[in-house]
Amino acid sequence: MNIPAISLTALFIAILVSCVSRLNVGFLSFAFAFVIGLTLAGMRVADVAAGFPVSLFLTLVAVTLLFAQARVNGTLDKLARLSLRLSRGNAGLIPIVFFGLGLLLAMIGPGNIAATALLAPIAMDVAGKAGIPGFLMAMMLVNGANAGGLSPFSPTGLIAIGLLKKIGLPGVEWQSFFNTLISHSIVASLGYFAFGGTKLFAKKTTEAGDLCRARVEPFDSKQRLTLWVIGALVASVICFRVDIMIGAFVGAFVLSLLKAADEEQAIKAIPWGVILMVSGVTVLIALMEKTGGMDLFTSILARFSTQGTVTGMIAFVTGVISVYSSTSGVVLPAFLPVIPGLIVKLGGGDPMAIASSIIVGANLVDVSPLSTLGALCIAHAPANQDRTQLFNQLLAWGLSMAVVGAIVCFVLFGLLW
């Protein structure tokens, strides 16, 4: 019985299911891992369960809980509305401001999904009232959120950091963040100029000015406390190397103790689905490593690339899959662990260049309406926006990013690396 092939097939089935259904493939991956491990590979329950990413699970819970508290008590929403004043009512600056807001909010902790969920209602409403094309606004907002989504404080960044450490790449969190930031900034800038962003500077609208001057209530005592806690967390992690899991749990405890946020609502707002998805796929990958399935997977990937083309190839493959599947929950846990074996099969290569290509290739396509980020923008499109047209525009952009991402990664992490 070919157990390596069976375990690899299980991973392919999990990826396929994540592309065509809303079933949480974390549960499916858990089931596959235990069935294959116990019945076919002769492993014990403890051996299969050893693949559960305990540290990553606790870190994600801690960080997402803290920023869920900041969301439910209105701190992040008020911060976003105040920041809109940076555009000074100029329609051409508004999409750029939302790119920056998405970047900032995703970077400091909530992550790309939470930042987009928070900003999409505001951004799409402002776009409709100020005469800004919905596609342009959605493209800028999502690229901004993804540009900040690989910071060491965000859920996707934490997932990537944990996976990179497991393959022998510790201490690269800021390099990974800046690689993603640069890639998304380049693509967003090109899109902004190509789809009429500069023309908005000549657009005279009173609506844009009124929206930016709209009164926002001052931060109350609970919200000020929340800002201080978040600031202390960021400073302690950067300046004093405090473990982010410990710092986030302490911060969440302080906010709960002082009743700065509704604890029950905050716990419900934690993205449990994504956390379980990452955990399940990680357990299945760990099983593949023990049964030889990972070695088979890397052999297949190596057949379609060379040392010179691997960055573009892997970015294209992960981009195509990520159009339909979860980047943080499925693509990163499935592909980052293959890097060491892939380098061996190719006879050499830079692991960080390949890792950056996987991360950037998978994230660039997330403007697609089939992804959570693109779907959030469509859901909040204003009444004067043709949603069918917006869907088609975002889908075309998302699919094209698989090719663009492959080219960007081939150039940045191949030719220029």
CA distance 158 to 174: 11
Confidence of residue 210 (pLDDT cuts 50, 70, 90): low
State the pLDDT at residue 207.
Answer: 62
Q: In this structure, what are the phi and psi dihedrals at residue 55, rounded to the nearest 5 degrees?
A: -60, -45
Residues 311-325 pLDDT 10s: 999 999 999 999 888
Average pLDDT, the chain: 91
- Of the listed ranges 63-67, 149-153, 368-372, the least confidently predicted one is 368-372
Residues 144-169 pLDDT 10s: 999 999 999 999 999 999 999 999 99
Residues 264-299 pLDDT 10s: 999 999 989 889 999 999 999 999 999 999 999 999
DSSP structure string for 378-396: HHT--TTS-HHHHHHHHHH
Element of type H or E holding 302: helix 293-303
The pTM of the full predicted model, rounded to 2 decimals, is 0.87
Which tops the pLDDT comparison, 252 or 371? Answer: 252
Total count of residues recorded for the chain: 417
Q: Is 70 exceeded by the pLDDT of residue 216?
A: yes
DSSP structure string for 238-265: HHH---HHHHHHHHHHHHHHTT-S-HHH
Q: Is 90 exceeded by the pLDDT of residue 231?
A: yes
Binning the chain into helix, strand and coil, the percentages to the nearest 5 are: 80, 0, 20
